[in-house]
Structure 1
């Protein structure tokens, strides 16, 4: 399901600024409110609508191949294509530590939570300043917390959203290693495959998930 503009603005919970209202923005705002008011996160540690940018080839052929090869790290087997353009995947919310390092990203999914697991792992591994140690996938009724390095499910249900006081410990217990250039290429193609129909960058007027 696409995220599309509703042609009006609403007040952003985190910044107080007016932001474009979309079909998902109310849910994004609700998740931010949960983090701050129920889980104890400082509002200053939470940022919304962060883009994961990278170049992609003009067709999806290489991306489909990478899904099959990615688990084995066979990114080099994918044929290079010309005509690359920039792709952007919006991350709904990101939580940062005092030094500006991303600790956790949250992605809203308009469907069964587990079916978005691989896409969300790729987003966490490619996130600016990452890889990010933890990713939480939610439809606002169910949730899954995953350790990114080992693709390890750490909790399920909305109670799986860690409180602020636990988050640093969880990050320390589930460290992530830098990705090789080959792995970065594979993760890019995997992420693009799962949402290859997205053509408009998330910093423009139309923001897709």
Structure 2
């Protein structure tokens, strides 16, 4: 299922601005509200729909990341991806995004459908918590981040993660669901993807 416009606007919880109402936007808004009001995340450090831009065989692609938390030095430290489907099937894509995001890798990430969630250690790719309550509160997350050992990706690692990410975004979950879909055609399959 693709995200599509519903033709209206809603007020963004994080910025207060009017934004397009889409099939997924109410869920994104609920996740942002949950993180701020129940988990204590500073609203001003959360950014929504941040584009993750990457290249595959000299062609540029972009995938929006639903929520990214930045520290006081404007470094990304945590990201959240909303999924419309079985949360577990989006874990690997989420880990790749966390490793590839500009300024990253970020040490921890969450994928959620707003009712269930997987908390992931992005260095190892391991699932470290399951359920919405597994999402750490802000203070606990900061302790986790301070103890995490994150290294920048090598060029080889970045290339591999990019190809895996592109495969998940474009071919596994991004294939068109109907002839009326407004998304552009998918790119050719990337050779060498794992």
What is the match of residue 23 of structure 1?
23
CA–CA distance in structure 2, aligned partners of residues 120 and 51 of structure 1: 14
Aligned residues, how many? 175
What is the match of residue 36 of structure 1?
36
- 1:93 to 2:52 alignment: no
- 1:107 to 2:81 alignment: yes
Aligned-residue offset at 1:114: 1.1
* 1:181-192 → structure 2 map (5 Å cutoff): 181-192=155-166
CA–CA distance in structure 2, aligned partners of residues 175 and 145 of structure 1: 17
What is the match of residue 118 of structure 1?
92
- 1:11 to 2:35 alignment: no
CA–CA distance in structure 1, aligned partners of residues 125 and 146 of structure 2: 16
What is the match of residue 81 of structure 1?
none
CA–CA distance in structure 2, aligned partners of residues 186 and 109 of structure 1: 23
Aligned-residue offset at 1:112: 1.1
CA–CA distance in structure 2, aligned partners of residues 21 and 176 of structure 1: 36
What is the match of residue 177 of structure 1?
151
CA–CA distance in structure 2, aligned partners of residues 55 and 144 of structure 1: 27
What is the match of residue 49 of structure 2?
49
CA–CA distance in structure 2, aligned partners of residues 138 and 159 of structure 1: 11
Aligned-residue offset at 1:122: 0.7
From 105, 109, 113, the counterpart of 1:139 = 113
CA–CA distance in structure 1, aligned partners of residues 170 and 122 of structure 2: 22
Measured on the aligned residues, the alpha-carbon RMSD in Å equals 1.7
What is the match of residue 192 of structure 2?
none
CA–CA distance in structure 1, aligned partners of residues 79 and 153 of structure 2: 18
Matched-pair contact (CA < 8 Å) for 1:147–1:174? no
Aligned-residue offset at 1:3: 1.0
TM-score by length of 2: 0.85
CA–CA distance in structure 2, aligned partners of residues 169 and 175 of structure 1: 12
- 1:167 to 2:141 alignment: yes
What is the match of residue 124 of structure 2?
150
CA–CA distance in structure 1, aligned partners of residues 139 and 118 of structure 2: 19
**3-state DSSP of counterpart to 1:196:** helix
TM-score by length of 1: 0.79
The higher-RCO structure (CA 8 Å, 6+ apart) is 1
